[in-house]
């Protein structure tokens, strides 16, 4: 199994000869601020130590998750942004969509939008299911998850009774304050704590992500082992450009300096769709402020080569791509021979699908580089809990460094509040 690495061979030619050397001291300074806690947002650095801290409670989380889900068909995870995207990225990446006989309950998601058709269908579906709720909210008053919890709490109590329903709710919330904390005390919900010094988009390795991931039946220990392995190997590296996160942060900011303002996170593995969604929030909320930041977008290949491929190849040259390239699986799927060969594909007969996918990857990289799109390659071991743990920690560290390189606070999100104020005013909320 290969360790996570960053290959910048297809990006270096787009930069001035001394670009990386000139960025090295800035990356070192950003890392120094991060580790010494002297940079902006330094009261939200608790994520740095989550692999060790969470490992101490991993067995307890797994046990409680098993007991909670024992008689349930479905569990609804209620949250928005960092309160659900990390969980969903793991569940969707590791799930086999064709296996319906797993002993663990299916994981459904709510609280991340306000679409009434979705909730009408969900409430109707749950009438025939044995189900429970994991609600994730520090305050308990964020509109989208609060509305969803009010709806689903009432439905669960109507279906199971108040006492039984309370045993089917896990609340992940603030240690001592907030509406959800108070309600949890009143109702006797099982509770887990959101650390005070960890922001939502950096929280996947805390109970925010670990509890629902364990309920889904995946190994939170392996997830944490991957993150811890990356941390132990690279967090305290004296030469930041020997650290994959430092290299990645430096190159993406160097590319921004030559006009590459949009980054596309791409993969040839469609199951990484929600990992890309988590990544977009991580970098979008962390960097997009004060008129600065690289716009984070994503693509799924080869599918999007037949839709967005034309633009990537020949559109506005403000793009660069970052490819996540997991080690190929040991796949038994081969292309069969066909006596008529009407489609002309007998030259592929006997070849594995994953080998064809690899050829599509290499051909795409070559085409896009020739078309003026720099490519960064992030190469990992095979898709697993361990690999995702590595990726989470790698990107979190790279994002923190990149934010400091840009001169912004990577741990706040002041711009998120304006739409809420406008919405409350339109809904005539008292005080607005």
* Per-residue model confidence as pLDDT tens digits over 22-61: 898 899 999 999 999 999 999 999 999 999 999 999 999 9
Alpha helices in 258-308 (DSSP H): 273-287
Q: Is a pLDDT exceeding 80 seen at residue 426?
A: no
Task: Name residue 320's beta-bridge partners.
Answer: 263
In this structure, what DSSP letter does residue 238 have? S
- Beta-bridge partners for 172: 136, 192
Model pLDDT for residues 115-158, shown as the tens digit of each residue: 999 999 999 999 999 999 999 998 888 889 999 999 999 999 99
Residue 381 has pLDDT above 90, yes or no: yes
Q: Which two tokens stand for residue 161?
A: 């009774």
Query: What's the rounded mean pLDDT across residues 66-79?
Result: 95
Confidence at 239, pLDDT banded by 50, 70, 90: confident
DSSP class of residue 416? G
Which tens digit of pLDDT belongs to each residue from 265-310? 999 999 999 999 999 999 999 999 999 999 999 999 999 999 999 9
Contact 84, 49 (CB under 8 A): no
CB atoms within 10 A of CB 328: 17
Element (H, E) at 398: helix 385-406
Q: For the residues of 352-396, what is the DSSP string, one character each? A: BHHHHHHHHHHHHHHHHHHTT--EEEEEESSSSHHHHHHHHHHHH
pTM recorded for the entire structure: 0.94
Half-sphere exposure of 381 (CA within 13 A, CB side): 14
pLDDT score at 329: 77
Domains, the chain: 5-39+224-407 (3.40.50.10490), 46-218 (3.40.50.10490)
Range 4-43 burial, b when 16+ CB lie within 10 A, else e = bebbbebbeebbeeebbeebbebbbebbebbeeeebebee
339-356 mean pLDDT: 89
Helix (H) or strand (E) holding 262: strand 262-267
Dihedral angle at the C-alpha atoms of 20, 21, 23, 24, nearest 10 degrees? 110
| Inter-residue contact 287 to 410 (CB < 8 Å) | yes
Which position among 53, 280, 352, 420 bears the catalytic label? 420
pLDDT at site 430: 81
Is the pLDDT assigned to residue 102 strictly greater than 70? no
d(CA 155, CA 170): 16
Active site residue 100: no
pLDDT-derived band of residue 358, with 50, 70 and 90 as boundaries?
Answer: very high
Give percent of the chain above pLDDT 70. Answer: 98
Q: Which residue has the higher pLDDT, 21 or 246?
A: 246
112 is catalytic: no
Q: Of 380 and 423, which is predicted with more confidence?
A: 380
**What CA–CA distance (Å, rounded) separates 371 from 309?**
11
pLDDT, mean of residues 97-123? 87
**Candidate list 56, 103, 306, 330, residue with the active-site label:** 306
Mean pLDDT of 177-200: 94
Cβ atoms of 106 and 219 closer than 8 Å: no
CB 317 within 8 A of CB 255: no
Q: How far apart are CA 123 and CA 119, in angstroms?
A: 6
Residue 294 is encoded by which pair of tokens?
């690289």
Which of 285, 287, 385, 390 is an active site residue? 285
Which pLDDT score, from 0 to 100, does residue 413 have? 85
Q: Is the pLDDT of residue 221 over 70?
A: yes
Active site residue 420: yes
Backbone torsions φ then ψ of 363, nearest 5 degrees? -65, -35
**Rounded alpha-carbon distances, angstroms, from residue 265 to 60, 289, 304:** 35, 20, 12
**Which residues, other chains included, contact 225 with Cβ-Cβ below 8 Å and sequence gap of 6+?**
55, 386, 389
Whether 101 has a pLDDT exceeding 60, the answer reads no
Radius of gyration of the chain (CA): 23
């Amino acid at each position: 199994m290969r360790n996570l690495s960053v290959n910048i061979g297809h990006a270096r030619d787009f930069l001035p000869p001394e670009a990386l050397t000139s960025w090295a001291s800035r990356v070192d300074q950003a890392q120094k601020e991060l580790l010494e806690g002297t940079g902006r947002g330094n009261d939200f650095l608790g994520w740095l130590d989550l692999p060790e801290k969470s490992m101490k409670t991993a067995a307890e989380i797994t046990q409680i998750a098993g007991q909670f889900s024992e008689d349930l068909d479905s569990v609804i995870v209620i949250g928005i942004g960092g309160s659900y995207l990390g969980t969903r990225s793991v569940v969707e990446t590791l799930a086999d969509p064709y296996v319906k006989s797993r002993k663990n309950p299916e994981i459904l998601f709510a609280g991340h939008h306000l679409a009434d058709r979705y909730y009408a269908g969900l409430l109707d579906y749950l009438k025939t299911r044995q189900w429970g709720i994991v609600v994730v909210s520090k305050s308990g008053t964020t509109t989208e998850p609060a509305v969803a919890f009010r709806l689903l709490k009432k439905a669960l109590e109507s279906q199971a009774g108040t006492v039984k329903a309370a045993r089917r709710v896990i609340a992940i919330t603030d240690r001592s304050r907030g509406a959800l904390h108070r309600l949890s005390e009143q109702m006797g919900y099982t509770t887990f704590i959101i650390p005070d010094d960890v922001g939502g988009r950096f929280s996947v390795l805390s109970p925010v992500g670990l509890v629902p991931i364990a309920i889904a039946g995946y190994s939170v220990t392996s997830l944490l082992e991957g993150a811890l392995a990356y941390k132990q190997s690279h967090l305290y590296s004296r030469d930041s450009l020997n650290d994959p996160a430092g290299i990645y942060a430096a190159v993406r900011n160097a590319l921004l300096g030559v006009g590459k303002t949009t980054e596309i996170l791409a993969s040839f593995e469609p199951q990484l769709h929600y990992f890309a969604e988590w990544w977009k929030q991580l970098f979008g909320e962390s960097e997009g402020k004060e008129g600065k930041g690289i716009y984070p977008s994503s693509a799924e290949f080869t599918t999007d080569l037949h839709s967005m491929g034309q633009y990537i190849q020949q559109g506005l040259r403000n793009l660069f791509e970052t490819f996540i390239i997991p080690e190929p699986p040991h796949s038994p799927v081969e292309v069969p021979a066909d006596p008529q060969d009407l489609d002309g594909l007998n030259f592929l007969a006997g070849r594995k699908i994953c080998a064809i996918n690899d050829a599509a990857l290499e051909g795409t990289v070559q085409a896009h580089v020739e078309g003026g799109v720099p490519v960064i390659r992030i190469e990992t071991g095979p898709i697993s809990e361990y690999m995702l743990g590595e990726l989470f920690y790698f990107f979190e560290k790279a994002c923190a460094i990149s934010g400091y390189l840009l001169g912004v606070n990577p741990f706040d999100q002041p711009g998120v509040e304006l739409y809420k104020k406008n919405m409350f005013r339109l809904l005539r909320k008292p005080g607005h």
